[in-house]
Structure 1
Amino acid sequence: MIRMRSLDEIEQVIESNQLVLFIIKTNHCGVCEAVSAKVSSMLESKPSVKGINVYMEDVPEIASRYLAFSAPTLLLFYAGKEVYRSARFIRFDELSHVLSQYESVI
C-alpha cells in the first residue's frame, strides 16, 4: 500500500487507476494497522488493484471529503466512482468477493 500525503495526490491516483482500494486511518490505532496489513497481503494477489492509504492527521480534510467519521474507513473506487465502503468493522470475505467481481470486469 502506498502512503498518500495530500488530497490532490489521492484524487490523482483515484482518477488515473481503474480500481483503487483506499484506507483512511489514524495514528496510534492498532485496528487500523491490522486492517492495513491484512489488506496489503490481500492485494499482493490482485495486481490490478492499486492500494493506497492516508492518515487523517496528515490530511485533515480527508474526513470531510470522503465522509470518513471513524477509523479505519475502507473505500473501493472503480473508474473514479466509489463502489464499496466499509468502516470500523471490515468483513474481509465480503471485500475479497467485491474485489473479485470488479477485477473480472477489467
Structure 2
Amino acid sequence: METLAAFQAALKDQTNTIAFISSENCSVCHVDEPKARKLAEEFEIPFYHLDIMQEPELAGFFKVLTVPAVLVYHEGKEIARQARFIDFHTLEKLVQQLPKQSEETDYQTLFN
C-alpha cells in the first residue's frame, strides 16, 4: 500500500501514472486491484494502490465518493476516471494510446 505523499511525488516525476483507490472491507476492490495492477505492469506504468481506510484524506484529495476507483494520469493531469463498475477493456484501450515519454507539445503546429 502506498501513501498519498508517495503518489504526489510520482506525479511530478512520471509521464503516466495509475492510481487504484480501495477500501480494505470492499470485496470488489480485492477482485479489481490485481486486474488494474496487471494492466499497469503490461504497459509499464507506475501503479499506486491507495486505501481510504488507512488515509481518509484520500477521498477528499481525489474527490472519490465510491470504491474501487481507477484514475489515470498523464503528465500529472487526470485524463480518465472509473469508479465502482470498472470497464477494463475501455481502460486498456486508453492506456495503449498513452505516449511512453513526455513530449513537448508544439501548439503552433497543433492549431494550424
Choose which of 75, 94, 98 in structure 2 pairs with 1:98: 94
Query: Structure 2 residue aligned with 1:30, among 27, 33, 36?
Result: 27
Structure 2 distance, partners of 1:20, 1:102, is 10
* RMSD, aligned α-carbons: 1.4
Q: Which runs of 5+ in 2 are unaligned?
A: 103-112
Q: Do residues 68 (structure 1) and 60 (structure 2) align?
A: no
Q: Distance in 2 between matches of 1:84 and 1:21?
A: 10
Once the two structures are superposed, residues 11-65 of structure 1 have per-residue CA deviations (whole angstroms, 9 ceiling, x without a partner) of: 1112211100101100121100111011122223211x11111100111101011
Larger of the two Rg values belongs to structure: 2
TM-score by length of structure 1 reads 0.88
> In structure 2, what is the Cα distance between the partners aligned to 1:19 and 1:104?
7
CA contact (8 A) 2:12 2:75 kept: yes
Alpha-carbon deviation of 1:76? 0.3
Question: Equivalent residue of 2:42, what SS?
Answer: coil
| SS class of match (2:98) | helix
Instruction: State which of 37, 42, 56 in structure 2 corresponds to 1:40.
Output: 37
Provide the secondary structure at the position in 2 that maps to 1:44.
helix
**Sequence identity, in percent?**
23
> Once superposed, which parts of structure 1, at least 4 consecutive aligned residues long, lie more than 3 Å away?
103-106
Tell me, which stretches of 5 or more residues in structure 1 are unaligned?
none
In the alignment of these two chains, the number of paired residues is 102
